[in-house]
Amino acid sequence: MLNTINKQTRICITLLFALLLPSGVAALNFDFGKIKETATKIKRATGKISVKEEVEIGGLITSNLLGAAPLVDDPELQRYVNRVGMWVAQQSERPDLPWRFGVIKSDNVNAFAAPGGYIILTHGLFATLNSEAELAGVLGHEIAHVNEKHHLNALKKSARMDLLGDALQASAKDKSRSDRKKLGKLINAGTQLYARGLDRKYEYDADRIGVVYAARAGYDPYALFDVLTTLDSIKADSPTMALLLSTHPPFSERLEKLDSATEGHLDAYATQPVLQDRLLALQLKLLANQNKTKSK
């Protein structure tokens, strides 16, 4: 079982990040034989982990999430999203994380962030966006989750940090059934966060911080308001919205909280560009490819 997990991890990470990152961004190579060394540094009592450990945890969780849906087979799209994401991430407090971004084949409208700088958007969400500024706002929201360590905090809150240490050690041992079981439990515990959702406070914080990152990156920060308004207009009974609605606060509440938190401070940046053409060109290309596939 562990060999299968390792193989899946290597394949998923390689496909998502090694070939599709912008020029000059190195892909992270996972060597589970070295995880034992970092696992021993985990302070279970306080839940403190190093950046390297955080990246390793995020890679394990991301590989499991990728098992549910493949990447959109469009290198141009993946490079574009990586470039926008990398630029927004450089405006954050943790620009040196090995950030990775990808778009997966899923009609569901959603986005995910994993510890260490892993960000995934669904094709369904990408298709709803109207500009690059909106993409920047969405990515800023997810980047904020990573920077604020919201998922790590949620794992700590659910008393899974003890499991975390055991599982990282297990991944290095590659021996007993109990070791492999510990690794599987870690991956499942992290993945369950995406089905259960984070605390509402974390989502409100990510909205507030995300618009700041977008503004720093030179985009109209109000574009995230536009995204939330668009999503709020989609019928609540749409199957593509089910997971997003079950794991996030109502869009109307998020808009109200975000407006209250910014209190007009974003007005000075409202004239910054939204850049529609680049994003819309990729959306049209994806739609054309979908139509070709359906006609075959």
How far from the centroid of its chain's Cα atoms is residue 264's Cα?
28
- The structural domains of the chain, with segments of one domain joined by +, span 2-295
- The pLDDT tens digits of the residues spanning 96-127 come to 999 999 999 999 999 999 999 999 999 999 99
- Where is pLDDT greater, at 19 or 167? 167
Residues 182-196 have a mean pLDDT of: 69
Tell me: pLDDT of 177 over 50. Answer: yes
Q: How far apart are CA 200 and CA 194, in angstroms?
A: 13
In our burial notation (b when 16+ CB lie closer than 10 A, e otherwise), range 197-229 reads bbeeebbbbbbbbbbbbbbbbebbbbbbbbbbe
Q: Quickly list H helices, 174-275.
A: 177-196, 200-216, 223-233, 242-247, 251-262
Neighbours of 79 (CB within 10 A): 16
Residues 265-280 have a mean pLDDT of: 95
Tell me: pLDDT of 162 over 50. Answer: yes
- The pLDDT tens digits of the residues spanning 53-83 come to 889 888 888 888 887 788 899 999 999 999 9
Tell me: pLDDT of 33 over 70. Answer: no
